[in-house]
């Protein structure tokens, strides 16, 4: 079984690359919510096309789905910065919040 940590690590690396390539929060925060959904939809469409054109080849599908995940993270980060989010979910989860979650790996 592939653990979530592996996939999350890939998304995190991709987010860091996006920040370097595009200018980070200063650039991200110029986009509105509609723009973010367009970006996500673009890569979701690419993933769908990759799965239809070559169902045996998972790499293109997965690469585009990782882009979808990283863009979704960027959109949420930007949204929270714009509204100066101070909610608890923006902080690291406490042990109490995570103790009911078992490691499936």
- Taking only the tens place, the pLDDT of each residue in 36-52 is 999 999 999 999 999 99
Which range (9-13, 20-24, 35-39, 56-60) has the least confidence?
A: 56-60
Distance CA 32, CA 49 (A): 26
Find tokens 């959109």 and name the residue: 75
User: Residue 6 in 3-state DSSP?
Assistant: helix
The whole-model pTM stands at 0.80
Give the chain's radius of gyration (CA, Å). Answer: 16
């Amino acid at each position: 079984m592939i653990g979530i940590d592996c996939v999350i690590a890939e998304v995190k690396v991709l987010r860091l690359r996006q920040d370097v390539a595009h200018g980070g929060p200063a650039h991200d925060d110029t986009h509105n919510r509609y723009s973010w959904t367009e970006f996500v939809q673009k890569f979701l469409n690419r993933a769908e096309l990759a799965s239809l054109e070559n169902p045996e080849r998972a790499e293109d599908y997965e690469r585009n789905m990782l882009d979808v995940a990283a863009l979704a993270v960027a959109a949420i980060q930007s949204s929270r910065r714009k509204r100066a989010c101070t909610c608890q979910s923006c902080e690291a989860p406490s042990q109490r919040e995570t103790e009911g979650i078992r490691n499936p790996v």
